[in-house]
Amino acid sequence: MSELHQPSERFQQGMATRRAVLGDAHVDRAEASSTPFDKPFQDLITEAAWGHVWSRPTLTRRERSIVTIALLAALGQDDEVAMHVRATANTGASRDDICEALLHVAIYAGVPAANHAIKIAKHVFEQMDAGKAT
């Protein structure tokens, strides 16, 4: 948030959820690399995505993680797929959960989208297993 405005309660909740899901290291890197140009965007996603959507109690973080990965895979958002696969270490979504979600992607969004996301997930899991993913 800008220096002129106090962070809203929704923003504070969003930041707490964002840190719990993505990890402090990821969020700290994003915050440190933000500029006056993209700071409004960072504030928007913290409040809207993380404060409004990810903080809702109806779905668990595990369920939101599965849905998010499937949607990002269907949309071909490779960097975001990788980021959210890494976040499964914090959300409780298992590799079996992600496999099942990507099978759905294959049927409902196309085999190429699922195939590509599976390659990304396998690479991220290899990094995680080697202790290289943050």
- Summarised one tens digit per residue, pLDDT across range 41-72 is 999 999 999 999 999 999 999 999 999 999 99
Cβ within 8 Å of residue 99, ≥6 positions away: 118
Helix (H, G, I), strand (E, B) or coil at 24: helix
Report d(CA 59, CA 134) in Å as an integer: 25
With tokens 């990890």, the residue in question is 23
How big is the chain by its Cα radius of gyration, in Å? 15
pTM confidence score = 0.91
Domains belonging to the chain, first-starting first, are: 9-53 (no CATH), 61-129 (1.20.1290.10)
Helix (H, G, I), strand (E, B) or coil at 115: helix
